[in-house]
Structure 1
């Protein structure tokens, strides 16, 4: 991780997120980009639920992975990119809410491997409720045209 934010990291994250067809498909929005932290929000949509009407674990996992990956992307140089190589998700409470917030934060920066932690919250009336957490490992990729930016 650089000591100071890399130049234009916010712009790079925003451009890259705009190319995320999966996040566009589920209606996710990039709402916060800071050095080492990214937040994504998602409105409730019945099409994204499982059989009990809760937000599907796969959707939760995908959004957490994306938030953590982009958090890692904020701390690398502009010539590099990020690929997730491992993650674990803990589902703590049913995904029930009007909106969902997914926050990824860099826990352990590195020049080759970055570890990030994520938290997913259901938002309705009252305080946000923690519904899931994730720890992910991201690989910094350099010099590979097929995964640039």
Structure 2
């Protein structure tokens, strides 16, 4: 799949991502935007670990939530915005790696509610290791003051 460009979707997502202080603080980078799929990567940083030296569950959750949310942006109209209303995270393996990849993928598009699944991977030498999964439910928001794409 190639990056989508219809109606400026990719640029709108990149601009929105650039306004996210949380992702900037984590050192996250938007690396893929396709119809229904978004990927975010971040390097290992000791500042993002918990007491055992592995990537903190909160960091994993935030990155997966963001990937799922922007995947939803690829299937909505330009005037709409997204808000997460629920998610569940399964932490499957310790977050040990040189880099991490977080992929959000649309499971069920909709005009009001969108469901996405996310997967988090640790990247080092060798194959990527699945460390977490997420199921996320998001609400499409239109015409609400202070909330825009």
Match of 1:50 in 2: 50
Give, in whole Å, the separation in 1 of the partners of 2:19 and 2:78.
Answer: 17
Matched position secondary structure for 1:104: strand
Match of 1:75 in 2: 75
CA deviation after TM superposition for structure 1 residue 144, in Å: 1.1
CA deviation after TM superposition for structure 1 residue 88, in Å: 0.1
Match of 1:106 in 2: 106
Answer yes or no: is 1:10 the counterpart of 2:47.
no
Matched position secondary structure for 1:96: coil
Match of 1:118 in 2: 118
Check whether the contact 1:102–1:121 (CA below 8 A) recurs between aligned residues.
Answer: yes
Give, in whole Å, the separation in 2 of the partners of 1:148 and 1:16.
Answer: 9
Q: In angstroms, what is the RMSD of aligned CA positions?
A: 1.2
- Give the TM-score, by structure 1 length: 0.96
- Give the TM-score, by structure 2 length: 0.96
Q: Which consecutive residues of structure 2, in runs of 5 or more, have no partner in the other structure?
A: none
Match of 2:93 in 1: 93
Answer yes or no: is 1:25 the counterpart of 2:25.
yes
CA deviation after TM superposition for structure 1 residue 8, in Å: 1.2
CA deviation after TM superposition for structure 1 residue 7, in Å: 1.6
Q: Which runs of 4+ in 1 moved over 3 A?
A: none
Matched position secondary structure for 2:7: coil
Matched position secondary structure for 1:95: coil
Q: Which consecutive residues of structure 1, in runs of 5 or more, have no partner in the other structure?
A: none
Give, in whole Å, the separation in 2 of the partners of 1:22 and 1:94.
Answer: 22
Matched position secondary structure for 2:81: strand
Check whether the contact 1:6–1:78 (CA below 8 A) recurs between aligned residues.
Answer: no
